[in-house]
Amino acid sequence: MDKILRIDMGAKGGPKVSEGPLGDYAGLGGRAMTSSVVSKEVPPLCHALGAENKLVIAPGMLTGSAAVISGRLSVGCKSPLTGTIKEANSGGQGGIALARLGYAAVILEGKPPTDDLYKIHISSKGVKVSVDNGLKMLPNYDLVNKMKAEFGEKIVCISIGPAGEMKLGSASVAVTDMETRPSRHAGRGGVGAVMGAKGVKVIVIDTADTKIRQPKDAEKFKEANRKFTEGLRSHAVTGQALPKFGTNVLTNILCEAGGYPTYNFKEGTYKDGAKISGETFAEIETKRGGKATQGCHTGCVIQCSGTYVDKDGNFISKQPEYETVWAHGGNCGICDPDTIARLDFMDDNFGVDTIEMGVAIGVAMEAGLIPFGDGEGALKLVEEVGKGTPLGRILGSGAEVTGKAFGVERIPVVKGQAMPAYDPRTVQGIGVTYATSTMGADHTAGYAVATNILKVGGFVDPLKPEGQVELSRNLQIATAAIDSTGMCLFIAFAVLDQPETFQALVDMINAFYGLSLTGDDVTALGKNILSMERDFNAKAGFTAGHDRLPRFFSTEKLPPHNLTWTMKDEELDRVFNW
């Protein structure tokens, strides 16, 4: 990864391709790369869909190497959904393919003067950008099939569906998986709309002649990778629960805890949660001949994904994630796994974020557009998004726009982004992260390694009252650092409990780059990223007043525990004091 590919989509005479050295961005990957480029090169006050915004696509630091589970791909820009800086990341094969071609980043710049739609073909022989208006409004699955017919089977696609072309706030960037299905998405924040604004429908990467990235110290790297793999496989979460049930294993737990937002955040427990739990999905998949255990990219040893098929064994979708099952399921009062899987497929096909889409439908249900529990109605609403009808465009623009359009008060968003599947009234600590994250309401911003291992910001006693703020701060720092490595965040659980597994990760990075990083360096990296992001947001007009949860969380009690959000504003304002 020693070069950056820039494509100026607005250049005179047509898109202009240039490749250059890393320069100031040397040593960066993933979120560190995307947020560095955006904060340095994008005017914070620009319109997210305008020519001044840039879409930065960056593999992680270890992506493309032999490091297990290191295939994450970051996509960054100014978000059209939130107006903040944005990094959304995805599994799939895209990061690995780009990294093995030597690209630390692909940056789409400018804006085409016409409404032509482009495809970009990248191979070891070079980069070709061409107009292909025949791709207009193609859903992702049809698009990928067309690309396979044109370029052969050995390709990876990074693409947008109709939602991205329509520049909707919930539009995602799709990445093909190991089966060359566009099932993995950089979902959050409308990054697909920015790709659509650049006029780029698809980036096709030819994987022929690509080579695995080699470490500086092969022996040390191999040993650290072995220990790291061992740590993941021996842990109860990464070695057993996730492979067997997927991330949706959380449904039963959150329902039991009363923290599972139901009926658009009106209740904290879904009475039919067991019908859509990870345990139930795994049982259905196994019985029907699908797969309950599957990786989303080469080198994944956790294998938390799967394949969901219908009663006749026909593919419906990949195994829906916990957040997807929640957003389209319990949040909307829908308890039919087949319907949820079909909604997941439609989201992937039209290219929308499943969380944003599900929450928007929940808000629409609250408005009375369709009743809670109406699975067929929900399918029709997503169909409207794919067709680009006026109603579909409202829904596809996200939960906040939907709520405003239909006069709904209970809109569960922070900085315009829909809240994920954990109610902050029950788990107050996660509410701190929702409120203060640089990205809008985001569950992955606090999904990271143990701060007591990293000693991020010194030792924190979580039992002290101020512990919530300290924990959230440290989690956000650690997450920013992990997001830069290309590692799947699910490594966190093994790292959380097993110090030797965390050490193996640090050793792996050091052996790969010939460095001698310590936990302090990891902390510094995370802080730098967050500082850049906070600075960008401040210049874009965001203040402490934006680091708040919607008022209804403070005024409406959530059954069954009947709790409200009680964190004080002054506490939230301390999160980034370092």
Partner 1 sequence: MNRKNTKARGAEEKAICISIDTNELSRFHPLFQEGVAVETDTGISVREFLCASLGIDERYVEERISTIFLNGKPVDDLDMSIIGDGSVLALSAAMPGLVGATMRRGGYYAAMRTTITHRADENRPALHRGRIRLKLFNMILDEIGPSLLQAGVVVRADSLGRVLENLVRDGLSQAVALPERGDEVRLIVGSPAVTETVNARGKIHGKWARKK
User: Which stretches of the chain bind partner 1, using CB under 8 A?
Assistant: 236-238, 240-242, 244-245, 247, 249-250, 252-254, 256-259, 269, 274-275, 277-280, 283, 304, 322, 422, 426-430, 443, 446-448, 450-452, 462-464, 467-468, 471, 475, 490, 493, 496-497, 560-561, 563, 566
User: In the complex, what is the shortest distance from the CB of residue 25 to partner 1, in angstroms, rounded to a whole number?
Assistant: 30
Burial 266-287 (b: 16+ CB within 10 A, else e): bbbbbebbeebbbbbbbebbee
The C-alpha atoms of residue 507 and residue 528 are separated, in whole angstroms, by: 21
Listed in sequence order, the DSSP H helices in 486-555 are 492-497, 499-513, 519-539, 552-555
The residue (of 222 and 244) whose beta carbon lies closer to partner 1 is 244
Nearer to partner 1, 256 or 409 (CB): 256
Helix (H, G, I), strand (E, B) or coil at 16: strand
Alpha carbon distance, N-terminus to C-terminus of the chain: 32
Q: Of how many residues is the chain composed?
A: 578
Assigned token pair, 186: 């950089």
What does the DSSP 8-state code read for residue 237? Answer: I
Strand pairing category for 305-309 and 291-294: antiparallel
Tell me, what amino acid is at 549? Answer: L
As measured in angstroms, the least distance from the Cβ of 532 to partner 1 is: 23
Locate 470 and state its tokens. Answer: 């300290």
Q: Quick one: 57 or 450, whose CB is closer to partner 1?
A: 450
CB of 512 to partner 1, least distance (A): 26
Q: What is the smallest separation between the CB atom of 300 and partner 1, expressed in angstroms?
A: 14
CB closer to partner 1, 76 vs 261: 261
Q: Which of residues 103 and 422 has its CB atom nearest to partner 1 in the complex? A: 422
- Ranges of beta strands (E only) in 42-96 are 55-59, 73-78, 85-90
Contact between residue 482 and residue 456 where contact means Cβ atoms under 8 Å apart: no
CB 6 within 8 A of CB 19: yes
Least gap, CB of 426 to partner 1 (angstroms): 6
Amino acid at 396: G
Given a contact cutoff of 8 angstroms between Cβ atoms, the answer to whether 103 and 50 are in contact is: no
DSSP alpha helix (H) spans, 88-217 = 94-100, 140-151, 162-165, 191-197
180 or 251: CB nearest partner 1: 251
Orientation of helix 375-387 relative to helix 337-350, angle to 10°: 10
**From the CB of 422, what's the least distance to partner 1, in Å?**
5
Whole-number minimum distance, CB 1 to partner 1, in Å?
29
Kindly state the smallest distance separating residue 155's Cβ from partner 1, in Å.
32
Residue (392 or 440) nearer to partner 1, CB: 440
- The whole-angstrom separation of Cα 78 and Cα 82 is 8
- The residue (of 175 and 478) whose beta carbon lies closer to partner 1 is 478
Instruction: Give Cβ neighbours of residue 337 (< 8 Å, ≥ 6 apart).
Output: 275, 276, 280, 281, 284, 308
Q: State the nearest-atom distance from the C-beta of 327 to partner 1, in Å.
A: 15
Q: For partner 1, which is the closer residue by CB, 171 or 496?
A: 496
User: Cβ closer to partner 1: 9 or 563?
Assistant: 563
Place of tokens 């250049």: 11
CB 481, min distance to partner 1, A: 15
Min separation Cβ 472 and partner 1, Å: 8
Q: Of 474 and 523, which has the nearer Cβ to partner 1?
A: 474
404/528 Cα distance (integer angstroms):
36
Is 228 or 322 the residue whose CB approaches partner 1 more closely? 322
Going by C-beta distance under 8 Å and a sequence separation of 6 or more, which residues neighbour residue 191? 55, 75, 76, 77, 79, 86, 88, 171, 172, 173
- Comparing CB distances to partner 1, the nearer of 266 and 561 is 561
Distance CA 70, CA 72 (A): 6
Q: Compare residues 203 and 254 and give the one whose CB is closer to partner 1.
A: 254
3-state secondary structure of 550: coil
CB of 78 to partner 1, least distance (A): 27
Least distance (Å) between residue 495 CB and partner 1: 11
State the minimum distance, in angstroms, from the CB of residue 241 to partner 1.
6
Q: Is 23 helix (H, G, I), strand (E, B) or coil?
A: helix
Sign of CA pseudo-dihedral 40, 46, 48, 49: negative
Q: Which residue has the tokens 């800086």?
A: 85
CB proximity list for 21: less than 8 A, separation 6 or greater: 2, 3, 4
Distance between CA atoms of residues 401 and 406, nearest Å: 9
Residue with tokens 């409200």: 564
Dist CA 232 CA 253 (whole Å) = 22
